[in-house]
Structure 1
Amino acid sequence: MCGIVGYIGTRSAQDVLMSGLAKLEYRGYDSAGVAIMDGQGIQVRKKAGKLANLSSELEGAPLPGTLGIGHTRWATHGLPNDTNAHPHATEDGRLVIIHNGIIENYLTLKASLVARGHVFKSETDSEVLAHLIEEKYEQTLVGGQVGKLSEAVRLALGEVRGAYGIVVTHVDHREIVAARTVSPLVMGVGQGEMFLASDVPALLPYTRQMVFLHDGDLVVLSDDGFSITDLAGNAVTREIDQIDWDAEAAEKGGYDTYMLKEIFEQPVALTNTLMGRLHDETGEVNLDIGLDPGSFKRISIIACGTAYYAGLVGEYLIEQLARIPVEVDVASEYRYRNPLVSGDTLAIVISQSGETIDTLEALREAKRGGARTLGVINAKGSSMTRELDDTLYIHAGPEIGVASTKAYTSMVGAMLMLALWLARARGTQSEAQARELLHAARALPRLVEEALAPERVERIKQVAEKYAHARDYLFLGRGVNAPTALEGALKLKEISYIHAEGYAAGEMKHGPIALIDAQLPVVVVATESRLLEKTISNVQEVRARAGKVILLLSDGDTENAQHADDVIYVPRSHEMVSPIVNVVALQLLSYFTATALGKDVDKPRNLAKSVTVE
């Protein structure tokens, strides 16, 4: 959600902070600010709105200094305005903090602090931390000497309940103190300089030596390096990881937007997800996970948003191929319904960031019930990966656009591999069936590349522009592609702000059919499958009510094209892998609809890339 950047070294702190915050804009935000130590004190500048607002102010009056912290805020407590923007300072301005997350007991803490004479400027829960740390800092003063900032932070956090990534600096200390619980933080290690951020892309222009902080870590950054302790003050050792992403991977690479770039990166992302794990010549699936496929009798898949729809595809694939009962839960509901979990349950959590708080808490709930846990995750070093029994990384690379594209198809690819692995281990597919499916899976990068051919993209753009001013949309699919319809509707809603609903096609007559009229575009996933005939019957029901039918058909299906107002052809693929091929066309349909309407597809309103608060 919110973005954090910190720097201490010899460079201009302002330059490093603003560069890093710009690379974190994809996380979603409504205000931005920086605090820079200039030798006389700590200067704070912050502005509501886009980062450009803050940049304009700093261009007119730059802040000198080589130590600073910066933040982009996504409002949880208090309106998105200049006052509520971070950083937050104490009354005398000597101590400054930035904070991601939520302080659950902030009202109690605030009441006590106000009673003791503290004056609050903002409506945020975060400002509580500044005043609380200030009090603890005064307690560390000995004989009027300089106090110990790290000890003050540690003492203050002992009174805090909630989720936080917190960064603190004080005018009397050339150091940055940071700590995390739930909210992610990563350090960058340089020569005579140190960096801090809430995500890797902010640091890539400066270093690829990264340290991922764990829950409960407290770190002190200085010009000479860093030291880490736990919240009890015990020394902690963390490995320095070499990140193989380069700065170019987080840039647009010549495309107009990050989202379009990431749509076109899907053949490569799928290659990274699938290849080296599937061996159709031997029928083997090598996932490098330690799970015993015979040790569980049921599977719970838990996720949010786009990842939840990937889980629905996974449910279909696992049940069809491996014959294991599967249920899929929205993570935000899972832990509140007292789920039935036992030692013979495998809980699979799906998350691009590995930091989604609802999914993380659902994972913990499953673990409390005794379930074995597996994560389908993109981000290495994330919170979930440290709590899971096993992790199946999707290797999709950085995804900057808020609306997920390549991470979604890679997640579905991972669920396909998992279904194939379980089927192979449990003997539910014949040798011939296994080879056929493995061959189909290995063909996916090529098929997606074909789906992105210029003539196909142009055709989708024409259809999108034709219906761009529709007020509503309906998406329909059946079987393994019912979730594809849901994902198509979600993408359109996210980036174009057009109301869209996705349904299993057979459900249309149980309510949604009442919405159909001559103004309603209805997108139907009708590619080659065992349910194609039934899907076309649903199409006839739409046509009988004058709905505008946009059919997604397999190449060469001219027979069913007669039932459509507009046709989008996609490469023919095996039914079990078709959701990955088909969704690419729906991503493009949403993309070109949004751009025709002049929307900012990379930063849609009200959305954030990684949701780290409930």
Structure 2
Amino acid sequence: MCGIVGISANRPIVQHLIAGLSALEYRGYDSAGVALVGKDGIARLRAKGKVRDLVALQAETGLDGHCGIAHTRWATHGVPSEINAHPHVSGQVSLVHNGIIENHAALRAELLAEGYEFSSQTDTEVVAHLVERAQRRGLGLREAVQDTVARLHGAYAIAVVSAREPGTVVGARYGAPLIAGLGEGEQYLASDVHALLPLTRRFMYLEEGDVAEVTVGAIRVFDASGAEVSREVKESHFNADAVERGEYAHYMLKEIHEQPVAVADTLEGRIAGGKILTQIFGVDAERLLADTQAVHIIACGTSYHAGLVARYWIEQLAGVPCTAEIASEYRYRDPVVKEGTLFLTISQSGETADTLAALKLAKDRPYLARMAVCNVPESSIVRESSLVLMTRAGPEIGVASTKAFTTQLVALALFSLELARAKGLDAARYADGVRQLEQLPGLIAETLKLDAEILELATHFADKQHALFLGRGTHWPVAMEGALKLKEISYIHAEAYAAGELKHGPLALVDEEMPVIAVAPNDRLIDKLKSNLEEVRARGGVLYAFVDETVAHGLDAAHVVILPAAGEIAAPVVSTIPLQLLSYHVAVLRGTDVDQPRNLAKSVTVE
């Protein structure tokens, strides 16, 4: 969601602050701002809208300096506006903040009673006033930040500068990500490594409760108790070029076409001699898989859909009970945890607030172990889990997830097959599943050749307001993901149903103005699905079917797109590709913001 960049250097830095914000635009935001500390105090620029509007302001004013902070805001408290944009200023302090301060109302009342004035509706301005108040009492900037965060309830990552200590940036985190970057003659803070990749590859990942003091020559880290601590310096392997669009019109299209490579990377080094290497899941994985008697999957959004597919695989292949649950619901109920239950979280960023909170709750419950499927090696969810399987999708910039979803499916398929092997899966069925995974990159590449055909289909949707997606078995979650993609980027209302539910209500919606999209693989439910599709045709619905080439004949639909034949493991991944392309082309035809759809953020780091 919101983005933070902070720099202390021996050179002018405003261009680097703004470049860092530009690298974080994919996260979603509604305003941007920058504050610099100079000999005359704090100067700031803020703009409602895009980073380019901030660039124009900076060009007009010529504002620059050697120490500063910058921010892109996604509104939580107060409408998108210049006065609600960060950085906020209180006296000689300026501050940016990601997250939500849950006790801001009580703190605001306290500060108002002391004579502090508020110019915004944000919870963040409260924090700026608290730091300023602590400094007026004589505390240094780092001590003032530590004094302040002890009062905060909720989630936060903050970066603060003060005219009393020019050249120093102080950051703190709890429940929201913040990293420190190490340079030569300059040091950095950011909420995401992508903001700093052009400047450094060396990072420290701050832990919960950490406060970091950043100056030109050093970064000092203090834990929640105020004790100075050391944090391991790690080198990032992300490629700065990976966040460039290249020849593609949009990041989403680029990322759709990167899927053959992303899937191949996710499989690389994990299969040998027709077998999955058990140790890829972590130390003691063989014993844990053998001891697993149930699986509890927790995720949000697209990752939740991946978990729903995995639920089918785990139960069908391994014969192990599996539930998949939305993280925001799990957090607020008291689940019954049976002996031998594995807790499995799925997250693209590894910082998803609800999923991370659920993982922390799981520590106090009698799970067998905690496993994560994630795309960011240094993320909080990875660090909090005992078993980890990375997806290797690389940076995903488009808000609507594409390659993150398919690589999650691949990682979950590896897990499902290996769990099934530990539970006695038939050797031939296991070998076939592994073979399907090895063939997946080629199958995806073949499916991408349907782009032009799907573009023509997209013209049928451009003027529609509603769409219905249908699937059965593992393809019901695939239909859910297809509906989510269409609504996310084209703003067409789309719903997905298990096809067998049609006559229990959704059939009332079907007429010639309601396009119905069906995903029809060649599985044991295909005949049932064909019957459901006949129900659509009988009501005058216009049917768009994405079908396995082995079942294309005998399927009566107005529009049929034939997909490469794939088995029970590969088919959900293959079927996802045309639904991504359809959503993309419909959104382009409707003129929406494909990569940064309204009201949405890439990484949801607040509740």
For the aligned pair, the TM-score class normalised by the smaller chain equals: over 0.9
Q: Is 1:20 paired with 2:20? A: yes
Alignment of 1:39-438 (within 5 A): 39-90=39-90, 92=91, 94-139=92-137, 141=138, 147-173=139-165, 174-282=167-275, 284-290=277-283, 291=285, 292-371=288-367, 372-427=369-424, 429-438=425-434
Aligned-residue offset at 1:341: 2.0
**1:475 maps onto 2:469 in alignment:** yes
C-alpha distance in 2, partners of 1:282/1:571? 24
Aligned-partner residue type, residue 152 of structure 2: V
Give 1:366 deviation, angstroms.
2.1
Letter in 1 for 2:179: V
The aligned counterpart of 1:144 is: none
Taking structure 1 as reference, are residues 284 and 244 closer, same or farther at Cα in structure 2, changes over 3 Å only? closer
> Is the CA contact (8 Å cut-off) linking 2:552 and 2:562 kept in structure 1?
no
Residue 517 of structure 2, aligned match among 510, 513, 523: 523
Give the direction of change, closer, same or farther, for the CA distance of 1:10–1:568 in structure 2 (3 Å limit).
farther
Question: Which whole-Å deviations, capped at 9, do the CAs of 1:459-503 have from their partners, x for residues lacking one?
Answer: 001001122211111110111111110000000000000000111
Deviation at 1:39, TM superposition (A): 2.5
TM-score (norm 1): 0.96
- 2: CA distance, partners of 1:50 / 1:282: 49
Shift of 1:197: 1.1
Q: Is the 8 A contact 1:285 1:420 kept in 2?
A: no
How many Å separate the matches in 2 of 1:505 and 1:467?
21
Instruction: Report the CA distance between 1:254 and its aligned residue.
Output: 1.5
Find the aligned partners of 2:186 and 2:561 in 1 and give their Cα distance.
53
- Indicate conservation of the 8 Å contact 2:389/2:411, yes or no: yes
Matched pairs, number: 602
Q: Given residue 312 of structure 2, which amino acid in structure 1 is its aligned partner?
A: Y
Question: Quick one: distance in 2 between partners of 1:476 and 1:269?
Answer: 27
Aligned-partner residue type, residue 242 of structure 1:
E
Cα distance in 1 for partners of 2:476, 2:394 equals 27
**Contact 2:262/2:393 (8 A) holds in 1:** yes
Which residue identity is paired with 1:452?
L
Whether the aligned pair in 2 keeps the contact of 1:280 and 1:435 (CA below 8 Å) is no
1:364-397: CA deviation from partner (whole Å, max 9, x where unpaired): 2222212121111111211112211221111111
Match of 1:8 in 2: 8
Residues 276, 414 of structure 2: 8 Å contact kept: no
**TM-score normalized by the length of structure 2:** 0.97
The AA in structure 2 aligned to 1:413 is V
Cα RMSD of the aligned pairs, angstroms, is 1.3
Of 286-295 and 150-159, deviating more is: 286-295
- For 1:487, give the aligned amino acid: E
1:242, distance to aligned residue in structure 2 (A): 1.1
Which residues of structure 2 form unaligned runs of 5+?
A: none
Secondary structure, aligned partner of 1:463: helix
CA distance in 2, matches of 1:9, 1:277: 43
Equivalent-residue separation in structure 1 for 2:276 and 2:602 (angstroms): 37
Q: Output the amino acid matched with 1:537.
A: S
CA distance in 2, matches of 1:410, 1:505: 26
Aligned-partner residue type, residue 462 of structure 2: A
Provide the secondary structure at the position in 2 that maps to 1:294.
Answer: helix
Report sequence identity in percent: 47
State the alpha-carbon separation in 2 of the partners of residues 392 and 48 from structure 1: 40
Rounded to whole Å, the distance in 1 between the matches of 2:15 and 2:361 is: 43
Deviation, structure 1 residue 531: 1.2
- Cα deviation for residue 402 of structure 1 reads 0.3
Paired with 1:379 and 1:11, the residues of 2 have a C-alpha distance of: 31
Contact 2:71/2:86 (<8 A) preserved: yes
* 1:469–1:560 CA distance, 2 compared to 1 (3 A): farther
2:181 and 2:339 map into 1 onto residues whose CA distance is: 40
Q: 1:461 aligned to 455, 466, 480, which one? A: 455
Q: Distance in 1 between matches of 2:201 and 2:99?
A: 26
